[in-house]
A and B are shown apart, each in its own frame.
Chain A
Amino acid sequence: MNFIALRMLMTDRAKYFGLIFAFAFSTFLLQNQISIFCGIMQRTGSQIRDVTDAEVWVMDRYTEYFEQTKALKDTDLTRVRSVPGVDYAVRLFKGNPTARTLAGKFASTFTLGVDDSTLVGAPRQMLLGKWENLRESNSIIMDKAGYALLFPGEPFELGRVLELNDHKVTLVGISNASAPFVSFPVIHARYSEAINFQGRERNQLSYVLVRPQPGVTAEELARRIEKETGLKARTTAEFIWDCVIYYMKNTGIPVNFGITIIVALIVGLAVSGQTFYMFTVENLRQFGALKAIGVTNSRLVGMVLLQAVVAGAIGYAIGTGMAAAFFQATLHGMATRGIILMWQAVVSVGLLMSVVVVAVSLLSVRKVIVLEPASVFR
C-alpha cells in the first residue's frame, strides 16, 4: 500500500511542490539563521582562538569577556610565572587605537601587542609576509579584512606606511586572522611598541598568556593560578565560552535571531501543515474507498505518515542543499568569512523538522481516523 500513498502524494504536482517548498524553505531558514547566529557568537572569541601557543589566559578578577580589560601590574606577571606548572607566561596588550592611512582613510582597530622576545600570540596564518617580521622596529601585521577596509580595491602589498595614533608604522605582513565580532582591522605589533599606540594609559598589560608544562592540564593550571595569585585564569575554551555567554546575556542578538528562528518555524509549520491538511482532505474520498474495501485505520495512518515523511525528507534535503550552497557562496565574502553551515545546525534542524512533520500529519491522521467509510456511497 506504500506505493499507493506515494503515488497519491506525487500526483497533485502543485500541492506536492508546495509542500516540499514549505519544508525546504523552513529548513533553509532555520539552518541558515542558526549557523549565522552561532558563527557570529563564535566571533566573540576569535582573537582568543587565534592564539595557539598559549592555553591559559590570566586577567583581572573582574574581566568577563575579551573586550573588557583592566590593566594588570607587572608584578602580576612575575607572580604568574612563579606558579608551579607554568612553562612560560608572557604579556599581551589589547587596545583599540585609530589607524590612519596616508590617503586619509582611518578606522578604529583591534590591536594586539605580543611579547617582544617570544612573539607568542603572533598570527600564525599569514597570507603575505612572515610573522617573524614583527621583530623589525615599528612593524605591524594587519588582517586581510582590515587591509581591504583601509586600502579598498588595492592589491596586497607590504611596506605600506600608516599611522597608529601618530606613530608611523610599516606593514610587514597580511594575516588571515579570524573575523572579530566587530569589523575592525586586526593588527598585531610588538608589546613594547603597541603600548605607545594607545597614548594616554602607559601600562597596558591586558592579559598574561600562559603555557602549562608538559603533564599539566590547562584546567589544572588555571585553577592553580587563580588560587595562588587571586587573578582570574581561564583556559582558551573557557574564555571563548565566557565571551559567548556574555554577548548572549548582554546583547539583543539572541533575541533577534530567536525571533527569526521562531518565525521560520511557525511559518514552516503553518504553511506545510495547511498544505498537507488540504492535500489529505482532497484525497479523503480515496481514503474512504480504501477504508470501505477493508484497509485498516493503522494502515491508512501509516500511509498518511509516509506521505508526510517523504515530503518532509525531500524538503529537508533541498533546504539543507540550499543552506550549504548559501554558505559556500558567502564563505569567502569579507563580512561573512568563516561563517559556515554547522553540522550541529543540520542535525538539530533535522530533529526539529521531524517534530514538524509529525505535528503536521496529526490533523490529517485524525481526519482519516474519524472518516466514515460509509461516506463513499454519498
Chain B
Amino acid sequence: MNPSSSSQAVRCLSLRKHFGEGEARIEVLRGVDFQAELGKLTFLVGPSGCGKTTLISVIAGLLDPSAGDLEVLNENHGRMKAQERILFRRRNLGFVFQQYNLLPSLTAAENAAVPLMADGVKRGLAVKKATALLDRLGLADKAASMPRFLSGGQQQRVALARALVHEPRLIICDEPTAALDHKTGESVMGLLASAALSPDRAVVVVTHDNRVFHHAHTIAHMDDGIITQVETPKPALTS
C-alpha cells in the first residue's frame, strides 16, 4: 500500500479522450498522468486549447474518458454506473465556472443553496446554511440580492459559496478569475485558498492567470493533451 494514496483526491493514469471519429477525430487528451492531493491547491495551466477543460470535465465525471484509468476520492470512475456517478458528483464535487453560471431567477443565497436542495435538503434549511456561508465570504448583505445586481466578483463569490455549501471533498474551478479584473481575481483566489482549502479537501484550479500562481501548492503544466511538467512550490496543508 502506498501511504500517500489516501491523500490523493484525483489520480489519472494514461488518460485519453478524443472527440469525433474518422476525418473529424480530434485527440484532446493523449495520455494524461495527473494527480491532485487533499489539502492542496493544484493548478492546471497551459495554453488555450491544450485540453484543460476537457481534463477537468473527465475528472468531474461530466465526460467519459476514451481510455486510461481515473480514480477520484479513491473511487474508480470506470466502475461506477451513470446514476452512481451523478450521485457521487452531487455529494463530493463542487464547481466554479468562468461564467459563474448562477441561476438568474434565484437570490444569491438560493443559488448557493442549490447543491443542498439537489440532494434533498429542505429549502429553508439549505438557504440558511448558504446564507451563513455567504456571510463568511463577505457577502452578508447580498444574500437576498438577485445575481444581476451583483458585480462579477460578487457573483463569483456566490458561485464559490455554491461550490462549498455541501462540503465536498473535491472542488473543480475552470478559469475562475478569467472574467475578473486583477484585484477582484486576486481576492477570489485568496478566498479559494483560505475558505475552500482544508486538509481533507482538494482544490483543482484551471487558469492561465500567472498573477495568481503564488497561491498554488502544485502547478501542473499541460500542453497539447499531456502534462509536461509538475512544480511543487508549496507544501500541502496538513491537519
Contact = CB atoms under 8 A, between A and B. Distances in A.
A68 interface: no
A373 B101 CA distance: 12
B106 A377 contact: no
Contacts of B101: 285-286, 288-289, 376
B115 A294 contact: yes
B87 A294 contact: yes
Interface of A: 1, 3-4, 7-8, 10-11, 285-286, 288-290, 292-296, 299, 372-374, 376-378
Interface of B: 53, 56-57, 60, 62-63, 83, 86-87, 89-91, 93, 95, 97-99, 101, 103-106, 110, 114-115, 117-119, 123, 162, 174
27 contacts: A1-B117, A3-B123, A4-B105, A4-B106, A4-B117, A7-B106, A8-B105, A11-B105, A285-B99, A290-B103, A290-B114, A292-B89, A293-B90, A293-B95, A293-B115, A294-B87, A294-B89, A294-B90, A294-B118, A295-B90, A299-B118, A372-B62, A374-B53, A376-B101, A377-B53, A377-B97, A378-B53
B80 to A, nearest CB: 13
A290 B118 contact: yes
A8 B123 contact: no
A3 B123 CA distance: 9
Nearest to A8: B105
Contacts of B110: 4
B47 to A, nearest CB: 17
Contact of B118 (A1, A286, A378): A1
Given A290-B114, A294-B115, A11 B123 contact: no
B95 A292 contact: yes
Contacts of B119: 294
Contacts, number: 73
B66 to A, nearest CB: 14
B184 to A, nearest CB: 21
B114 A376 contact: no
Nearest to B146: A11
B62 A293 contact: no
Nearest to B175: A377
Given A285-B101, A290-B114, A294-B91, 7 more contacts: A4-B106, A11-B105, A288-B101, A295-B90, A296-B83, A374-B63, A377-B98
B100 to A, nearest CB: 9
B111 to A, nearest CB: 10
Interface centre among A294, A295, A372, A378 (most CB of B within 10 A): A294
A7 B114 contact: no
Contact of B105 (A7, A289, A290, A372): A7
Contacts of A288: 101
A378 B97 CA distance: 9
Contact of A292 (B53, B62, B106, B117): B62
Contacts of B93: 294
A74 B117 CA distance: 85
B127 to A, nearest CB: 11
A290 B118 CA distance: 8
Given A293-B115, A294-B87, A377-B53, A286 B97 contact: no
Q: Chain B CB within 10 Å — which of A288, A293, A374 has the most?
A: A293
A11 to B, nearest CB: 4
Nearest to B85: A294
Chain B CB within 10 Å — which of A3, A286, A289, A299 has the most? A289
B114 A293 contact: yes
8 pairs of A and B residues whose beta carbons are closest in the complex: A294-B90, A11-B105, A7-B105, A374-B62, A374-B57, A289-B101, A294-B89, A373-B62
A294 B62 CA distance: 10
A159 to B, nearest CB: 72
Contacts of A376: 95, 97, 99, 101
Contacts of A289: 97, 101, 103
